[in-house]
Amino acid sequence: MAREKCVLAYSGGLDTSVAIRWIQENYDMDVIALAIDVGQERQDLEFVRTKALSIGAIESIVKDVREEYVEEYISKALKANALYENKYPLVSAMSRPIIVKHLVEEAHKHQAKYIGHGCTGKGNDQVRFEVGIACLDPDLQIVAPVREWELKTREQEMLYAMEHDIPVPTTKASPYSIDDNLWGRAIECGVLEDPWLEPPSDIYTLTADSRGNTCDEPQYVEISFEQGVPVALDGEHASFHEVIKSMNEIAGKHGFGRIDMIENRLIGVKSREIYEVPGALTLITAHKALEDLCLERDVLHYKLQIEQKWSELVYNGMWFSPLKEALDGFIETTQQLVTGDVRLRFYKGSCVPVGRRSPYSLYDYNLATYDEADSFDHKAAKGFIDLHGLPTKVWARQRRKVGKDGEV
Ligand code: ARG
């Protein structure tokens, strides 16, 4: 009888390389390795593909999904101004759903009943993989070797690898755990686990140090949006993907886009996280500046709550959930007239919106101005204030009756 098959989310690193052999040995299954290109820096994916085969995968697939990632995933995050705990643009949380989608697709194509991942039992990513897979096909089974095996230290893993002819990294292992894609970079572990210590400067690759080597001149950049997504840079048409790449470069060069935070993981642990997100933070800043101009007040205020819930759901692995889908519907409706330009100024670690305009702008100069052109009815304000303040006025009177100066 043919062996069962497992499609493994493969990165080319030590964990998932060891996992190929471990799954074969411990589960008696064939492994199909799947590496997904979501815009990680410096990764030779052809090398990754052949590496999986050399370890024993019966098939090894590399898929470049960058365009789909930008169009179907990142665009939703930008429209939602998605920041978990008001700070983190969901770098890793964003890439997992698209990886999941392709894992499930390949599992179906190869009649595999199992999907494997290399996440530990302590992070968010295991949840994102497993809940995501369950949403797309609840009959698929999960194999999570890193959570199961007894290889506690990196040395034990290296030993297992050497005993099984699995290529081990020749360079000294980085003390950090890094996950990246075109929406940014996440850096954990090593000295960063002490929340009191300032992160060493060598952890950064996308952003310059704003105390030192950034430009002495400010730089202005104009980003144009159509229905909530970027379509041009400095007046030149550019795809959303190109805009992200350019903004990673420009903002990074000016030292904008570093985040150092304590974050609440879903599994209940607080962790110290460093992120480099120059492009993501720039685009969210610009997008918000345009929404300030184009969204009606109640919609804008209500959307802030939706944004927070959306970010929480996506952080917690609920990308394919019905609530997240329903919130997408709300957000999409709000974006119909979020079209226009935002001018940003970059200087020494800062990114500030300094101008915004839109054919759908709700800013009315005649209503806003204190000059002669003022068309606002000042007298109408009195009646408005009387009624607006009426309930509190009634309350205050009553309080004074019961006790002196409001004291009961
Ligand atoms: N804490 C972040 C998240 O859960 C980043 C995790 C990144 N993983 C890593 N191996 N550095 O989304």
Catalytic residue among 21, 60, 125, 185: 125
281 lines ligand 1 (CB under 6 A): no
Among 140, 173, 206, identify where a domain stops: 173
Q: Domain count for the chain, please give it.
A: 3
* Mutation to probe ligand 1, out of 85, 128, 185, 188 (largest number of atoms < 8 A from CB): 188
In terms of Cα–Cα distance, which of 59, 142, 74, 71 is closest to 104? Answer: 142
Q: Is 177 in the pocket of ligand 1 (CB under 6 A)?
A: yes
pLDDT band at 328 (very low <50, low <70, confident <90, very high): very high
pTM of the complete model: 0.95
Strand ranges inside 182-257, DSSP E: 184-188, 219-226, 229-233, 236-237
- Residues of the domain holding 353: 178-295+338-357
Determine which one of 177, 210, 239, 361 is catalytic: 177
For residue 300, being part of any structural domain is answered with no
In a domain, 364, yes or no: no
Distance between CA atoms of residues 101 and 218, nearest Å: 42
- Which tokens is 158 given? 């290296």
- Spatial separation of the C-alpha atoms in residues 198 and 289, rounded to whole Å: 31
Residues 6+ apart with CB under 8 A from 37: 43, 45, 62, 63, 64, 65, 66
Task: Classify residue 323: in a domain, yes or no.
Answer: no
Q: Are residues 166 and 186 in the same domain?
A: no
Q: What percent of the chain has pLDDT over 90?
A: 89
Same domain, 169 and 21: yes
Residue 250 corresponds to which amino acid? I
Last residue of a domain, one of 173, 202, 232: 173
Q: What is the pLDDT of residue 174?
A: 81
pLDDT digits (tens, 9 = 90+) for 100-142: 999 999 999 999 999 999 999 999 999 999 999 999 999 999 9
Domain boundary among 150, 173, 196: 173
Cα–Cα distance list, 290 to 49, 57, 229, 233, 251 (Å): 43, 49, 11, 15, 19
- Residue ranges in 211-364 assigned as alpha helix (H): 240-253, 278-294, 297-315, 322-334
Q: Is the CB of 266 under 6 A from ligand 1?
A: no
Average pLDDT over residues 33-38: 97
Q: Express each pLDDT in 174-223 by its tens digit.
A: 889 999 999 999 999 999 999 999 999 999 999 999 888 788 999 999 99
Task: Indicate the SS3 state at residue 90.
Answer: coil
Ligand 1 atom showing the smallest separation from residue 273 Cα: 1
